[in-house]
Amino acid sequence: MLFALMSLFIAMAEAAEIKMFCKCFCGSNSTVFEIPTFDPKPCANCTKQFCLDNVEDGICDGIADATCPSNDFKTACFARDSYKDEIIVDSFLCITVGLVLFAVIRPHFEKWQKNRITRAQYETVSNTE
């Protein structure tokens, strides 16, 4: 059962749909754009031109106009919201909750088991004399 569950988690992690983002910085201004992931190397698209092509009026002031010189412009590519990350966090939480429940139930279970064994040692006495 555990092997099947782990195989399911591994298969889901392999098929994770990763969302890639490009963060465009110009001085203290910044904005984040989602990068299409159909390209094998989506971070190669995170350039100043990509930011300029995707900027809308007022989203990131200073990127689309002359107030941001090219030496003050930076980009950063990162991934977020992948199913793999969610599976890891959810697995950790399930395992932690399971261990806490086991720690709470175990003393009561051992007491019940000890009483059951003690009762099983007694034999019924027949009332026929």
Domain boundaries in the chain?
19-81, 82-121
Per-residue HEC secondary structure of 50-67 comes to HHHHHCCCCCCCCCCCCC
Over the chain (129 residues), the average pLDDT of each successive run of 10 is 63 64 81 80 84 66 57 79 78 94 93 84 71
According to the model, what pLDDT value does residue 26 have? Answer: 76
Q: What is the rounded end-to-end Cα distance, in angstroms, of the chain?
A: 55
According to the model, what pLDDT value does residue 89 have? Answer: 87
According to the model, what pLDDT value does residue 100 have? Answer: 96
Please give the Cα distance from 83 to 14 (Å, whole number). 9
Q: pTM of whole model > 0.85?
A: no
